[in-house]
Amino acid sequence: MNPSPLPAPLPAPPACTAEPSHWDQRYRDRADGWELGRPAPPLELFLRTHPLAPRTPGTVLVPGCGRGHEAALLEALGFRVIGLDFSGEALDAARGLHGPDRPGLRWLQADLFDRPALEAAGLAAGRLTGIVEHTCFCAIDPGRRDDYIATACRLLAPGGWLLGLFWCHGTPGGPPWGSDPQTVAAQLGRAGLVAEIWEPASGSVAQRQDEWLGLWRRPVATAAGAGTPTMLKPLADRLRTWGFSWEGLRDNRHGEWWVVGQMVLIAAHALPPTPPPSALGIHWPLALRLLGGLIFLTGLGVGGQGALNLGASLTPLPEPIPGAPLVTEGAYARCRHPLYQALLICSLGVAIALGSLLHLGLLLALATLLRLKARREERRLCLLHPGYAEAMASTPAIVPFVPGLDWRVCSDPA
């Protein structure tokens, strides 16, 4: 009799990462490949040196804190910190390394998704100033990420922040489960969080070169549900999506001052012709008036096409919308900044139609401002989209072959 064939090996059981026992075992076995033995360098660098880094005072949660390096760093920086983890092994190690509970640092053993347990521990809605994420988001099942984000939004006070280092690797399987920057940004944005920073991290350890660092905020008005008249709410929401904030108007964090300058120059086009051609003894020909009008309309057309092509990536700020795709088609295949080109065409049309030296000056001022604004925008685009450098080499910037407006024909206009 032939022996019956050996049964095929059973597939490995899925990692039960929703169970604290899974993590306890990994800590006991020292199967803790994520352990850096120190706070993640990009987070530490950011918190210690970045001008936009959140400032004390405030109560900050570190979910899935593990051995507590980030929690201890935050306490040393002056925050009141809660290091939360559902693994008792992790928290025992954290206490051993950083000391027991004290006024500035508390270790909390609880499941991040267990709302009653969090509330019983004093973590009710709106209690936190900030949350610092490091390798918890990639450790939980990807199907629970929206839950993670909803929990973060619930716990944050209006105006509260989420500072996170997200490991956007593309390797299948997990933990650590990967992602990509667009998806993470879209998930956080859908939950109503607004990005102040979303960029490739600097200073990552060698084995984690795909980390992205983000500072996201729960908006004050939306969270409070008050403060903005209903009629203006869509406008306020749109401005927030673009990245505008009162803080930005004060410190230019997303290039707000460029937009203000641009608006002032555009508005100045409504001034009367100065000096009027008649004051110089010139009767401004009808043909030039008509030509100027035609050029102006052409500018509107170019702008309309550019805005349509850009779609959801459209923002007046020189800071790209976090997670927005790079557009290189339609008007963007002809030039990299068709909206700036459109503004200059319109401005030229007005100057010709009015025969005004003032408007000629406004055209030159607008060209200078847009050139500098585009350069700032491109520095960010190069950082966020590796393919952008290629577009810069092949596609003119604002106006083809015009020195200063097409940086392929002059060395460095910035």
Query: Which residues sit at the interface with ligand SAM, rule CB under 6 A?
Result: 23, 34-35, 64-67, 84-87, 90, 111-113, 134-136, 139-140
Tell the smallest beta-carbon distance from residue 61 to ligand SAM (Å): 11
- Of 152 and 194, nearer to ligand SAM (C-beta) is 152
Per the DSSP assignment, residues forming a β-bridge with 195 are 216
Q: Which amino acid is at 111?
A: D
Instruction: Return the H-helix or E-strand segment holding 223.
Output: helix 220-224
Tell the smallest beta-carbon distance from residue 182 to ligand SAM (Å): 23
Pair 198, 321: CB distance under 8 Å: no
Contacts of 232 (CB under 8 A, 6+ apart): none
Give me 182's structure tokens.
């667009």
Tell the smallest beta-carbon distance from residue 187 to ligand SAM (Å): 17
Q: What angle do CA 131, 135, 136 make, to 5 degrees?
A: 65
Pair 99, 105: CB distance under 8 Å: yes
Tell the smallest beta-carbon distance from residue 65 to ligand SAM (Å): 6
Tell the smallest beta-carbon distance from residue 50 to ligand SAM (Å): 20
- Of 79 and 244, nearer to ligand SAM (C-beta) is 79
CA torsion 303-305-306-308 (nearest 10°) is 120
- Of 73 and 391, nearer to ligand SAM (C-beta) is 73
- Of 135 and 222, nearer to ligand SAM (C-beta) is 135
- Of 171 and 394, nearer to ligand SAM (C-beta) is 171
Tell the smallest beta-carbon distance from residue 85 to ligand SAM (Å): 5
The string of DSSP codes covering 195-214 is EEEEEE-SS--TT-TTEEEE
- Of 64 and 255, nearer to ligand SAM (C-beta) is 64
How far is C-alpha 402 from the geometric centre of its chain's CA atoms? Answer: 33
Give the strands of the sheet with 59-63, arranged side by side: 105-109, 80-85, 59-63, 128-134, 156-167, 211-217, 194-200
**SS percent in the chain: helix, strand, coil, step 5:** 45, 10, 40
Tell the smallest beta-carbon distance from residue 194 to ligand SAM (Å): 24
- Of 19 and 390, nearer to ligand SAM (C-beta) is 19
